[in-house]
Structure 1
Amino acid sequence: MNQSPLYLQIKTYIIKQIEQGYWPIGHRISTELELTEQFGVSRMTVNKALRDLVSEGRLVRRPRLGTFVSAPDDKAESPLLNIRNIADEVSQRGKTYSSKVIKQASILADDMVATQLGVMLNSSVYCSEIIHFEDKTPIQLEIRWVNANYVPQYIEQDFSDITPNQYLSNSCPLSAIEHTVEAIVASDSVRAALRLGINEPCLLLNRRTWSGDKLISTALLYHPGTRYKLSSKVMF
């Protein structure tokens, strides 16, 4: 039996509804009366749980309209018009960065990789898959393919110690980037890696990078839409 205070049980229920995607950002949650009946508690108890969640930024109350799931103010953020090392971004936000290397191998380029990386079909290329964390919460799944002819030592790097971005920036100074962004329905593997809720949105950033006239790498960067945002600033 759950021995925690009733208002905490209600808070936990609401948070799970949000994190598992049943109550997305902007969703009007159950009313105080509905929660009172659902949990068999006093309205004061429900009100305490809701007030706590409002003060924590999880919910927002709108007079005469109801209580809604709010967008978090502390989303991780990356620039869209240039490239920054994700480990530095996390540190600059005062958070702790860590990563988990899922795959690091030499593979044969299929149609998609060959086209994106500008190599012949079945050419030998390097592939790495890494989950990047902020305070132990996954904020990016990086799947990257690298031209083995231009960066032959890529496969030998310890990417638990240095990020691919750091290594490539040092080895092949950046001269051009190409970015496209789209909202997608995440596959089961991406959802599991990023701990996405059932209906939680996913942002996919497609990136290609050049050094001089050489196309060095192509990457798919997946982000949890409720915990991450991309920004840009253009000066005129």
Structure 2
Amino acid sequence: MIIDEVKKLYAKTPAKLPAYRRIQLMITSQLESGDLKAGDPIPSENDFVNALGISRMTVNRAMRELSNEGLLKRTRGIGTFVAEEKFPGDFMSVHNIADEIKERGHSHSQKLLKLEKINKEDDHEFWDSGQIPPEMGETAFHSVIVHFDDGVPFQIEERFVNDRIAPRYLEQNFENLPPASYLNSLISVTHGIHKIDAILPNKDQHEILEIESTEPCLRIERFSYSEEELVSAACLLHPGFRIVLEGEFGK
């Protein structure tokens, strides 16, 4: 939108509404019509003030509320943009991420970054940090994969696998095969433990996910078991603005 368009669009909104609601309505109408898409810039507060002759406080309220609703993304010193779609992720059950992405009608792809066998003596930091629980034993397979949704980095999957359950893990083609699919073909996961928190990505992570270093990420630590035996311990990292978690319980 340019300044003249702002004036025209604002004039089409109901005059009886407060000014901040009229600004919100003109933006949401553009979103619904498809005239505004994810990543498109929104005029600055100064642009709205100059075009419409209203106070900066009014414009700020309109933008702040749309940002809180997840429709806009505001970056200090850069500007305001239409937020990317937040893709749902189910944290109440274990799913193959490729299937989740395909169910949305999107294309899944992945890139293998690391595949190796590690041991507690040489790689003790993984055990010391708690990423690998004691019941995994003294050795494990370690893989790092980045998953893409329509070509956009969606998740970094770091996984530690019980080498007694999946002894041929290192032989698999994880450029195409998601680890969850392979493990599910070997053994049935009966239960799991989740831990969810928000973190800032490190240098490698924000470069892989193609986000700013100040962009919060959602981290899901998932421990999957078959009866009493640990199958794998996974750390799943998503850009916070690209995912929303959903689930159900107590039917």
User: What TM-score comes out, normalization by structure 1 length?
Assistant: 0.72
1:118 to 134, 153, 157: 134
Q: Does the 8 Å contact 2:223/2:233 carry over to 1?
A: yes
CA distance in 1, matches of 2:240, 2:186: 31
- Tell whether 2:242 aligns with 1:227: yes
Partner of residue 91, structure 1: 102
Equivalent in the alignment of 2:189: 174
| Separation (CA, whole Å) in 1 of partners of 2:213 and 2:204 | 13
- Shift in Å at residue 195 of structure 1? 0.9
Offset at residue 118 of structure 1 (A): 2.3
Distance (Å, rounded) in 1 between the aligned partners of 2:249 and 2:84:
23
For residue 162 of structure 2, the aligned residue among 116, 129, 147 is 147
Q: CA deviation at 1:43?
A: 3.1
Equivalent pairs: percent with the same residue?
27
Asked if the contact 2:136–2:230 (Cα under 8 Å) also holds between the matched residues in 1, the reply is no
- In 1, are the aligned partners of 2:84 and 2:241 still within 8 Å (CA)? no
Q: Which of 203, 223, 246 in structure 2 is aligned with 1:208?
A: 223
- The CA deviation at 1:124 is 2.4
1:9-88 superposed matches below 5 A: 43-44=3-4, 54-55=30-31, 56=36, 64-66=58-60, 67-68=62-63, 69=67, 70-71=71-72, 72=83, 74-88=85-99
Q: Which structure 2 residue ranges, 5 or more long, are not aligned?
A: 10-22, 49-53, 73-82
Structure 1's unaligned 5+ residue stretches are: 1-6, 8-41
Aligned twin of 1:107: 118
CA contact (8 A) 1:78 1:84 kept: no
Q: Which residue of 2 aligns with 1:33?
A: none
Q: What secondary structure is seen at the aligned counterpart in 2 of 1:133?
A: strand
- SS state of the match for residue 241, structure 2? coil
Q: Secondary structure at the match of 2:176?
A: coil
Structure number with larger C-alpha Rg: 2
Task: Please give the alpha-carbon distance, in whole angstroms, between the structure 1 residues aligned to 2:7 and 2:111.
Answer: 41
Q: CA deviation at 1:48?
A: 8.4
Q: Report 1 or 2 for greater relative contact order, CA contacts < 8 Å, sequence distance ≥ 6.
A: 1
| Matches of 1:153 and 1:195, distance apart in 2 | 32
Q: What's the RMSD between the two structures over aligned residues?
A: 3.1
Tell me the SS of whatever aligns to 1:226.
helix
What letter is aligned with 1:82? S
Cα separation, 2, equivalents of 1:130 and 1:184: 19
Secondary structure of the equivalent of 2:93? coil
Is the contact made by 1:179 and 1:206 (CA closer than 8 Å) also made in structure 2? yes
Superposed displacement of residue 52, structure 1: 7.5
Number of matched residues? 195
**How much has 1:140 moved relative to structure 2?**
0.3
Which amino acid is 1:107 matched to? I
Question: Which has the higher mean CA deviation after the structures are superposed, 63-72 or 185-194?
Answer: 63-72
The residue type equivalent to 2:3 in the other structure is R
Distance in 2 (alpha carbons) for counterparts of 1:203 and 1:163: 20
- Mapped partners of 2:229, 2:154: distance in 1: 29
AA aligned to 1:80 is F
Of 132-141 and 210-219, deviating more is 210-219
Query: Deviations 1:63-99 (Å, cap 9, x if unpaired)?
Result: 9344524254731121111011100011110000000
User: How many Å apart are 1:201 and its aligned residue?
Assistant: 1.3
What's the CA shift for 1:153?
1.1
In the alignment, structure 1 residue 188 sits paired with structure 2 residue 203: yes
Are the aligned partners of 1:117 and 1:217 in contact in 2 as well (CA < 8 Å)? no
Q: Distance in 1 between matches of 2:159 and 2:136?
A: 17
